[in-house]
Amino acid sequence: MQITFIRTSERDYAIRCTCDDGAVLAVRTYDRPLGLPHDLAHYVVERELGLAWGFWGLVAAGATFTSVMRCVGRTRPHHREEGQWLIKQHRDDLTEAEALVGVLLDVWRGGTGAEAAYRAVVARCWRRTDASPSREQVVRVYMALSQMETQWLSLDQGATLTVDWPTTLGWRRRLRPVPRRWAPRVRRVTQRQGA
């Protein structure tokens, strides 16, 4: 899935996602940042920490958030139910992503170093005990946030920043079965030339 962040003014932005099946989604934004937008920070943190079931991973898998609207493309039967089921199955992962983004963004915006960010994550963040981010991961996130903000602030009004989010194809196999009427359908993926 391609995620395009459009800088519409100094403090406003829009988001359009182009899914692998050709559907185009619009994501409603809620913040008016002077620096890095919250949704772009989500992308950076989720990508760098490998959070497959945070906000962007769920959007790519077809989750139906109220802030995401389909602009182009056919809506499959039972799409809303399947999308709600995905959110319900990954609520803890989504909460974890929100908490990590919140803590890392607060510490990063405060201007303290990456070591302080790591201590903040360990001390203040809701996190599953089976997988905590390492120091190296937090340092990588910290650097990626700085690089992404530099890219974002260099954009003129109307310019875009496009990033890729990998589409998770095997997600159904790792989850417990759902009632047949809500079971997600398998999408056929064709390999792009030059890939």
Q: pTM to 2 decimals? A: 0.77
CA–CA dist 87, 135 (Å, integer): 29
- 97-109 pLDDT tens trace: 888 888 888 888 8
| Residue 156 banded pLDDT, cuts 50, 70, 90 | very high
Higher pLDDT, 34 or 119: 34
Domain ranges (residues) in the chain: 2-169
Question: What is the side-by-side order of every strand in the sheet holding 160-164?
Answer: 68-72, 24-27, 13-18, 2-7, 160-164
pLDDT at 170: 45
| Residue 180 banded pLDDT, cuts 50, 70, 90 | very low
Helix 91-109 × helix 114-124 angle, to 10°: 140
Q: Once rounded to an integer, what is the mean pLDDT over residues 144-172?
A: 85
Higher pLDDT, 100 or 78: 100
Q: Each residue of 68-85: b (16+ CB within 10 Å) or e?
A: beeeeeeeeeeeeebbeb
In angstroms, what CA-CA distances link 192 with 25, 123, 165, 170, 189? 21, 44, 16, 19, 9
pLDDT(5) > 70: yes
- 129-146 pLDDT tens trace: 556 777 888 889 989 999
Tokens of 40: 């772009």
pLDDT at 152: 95
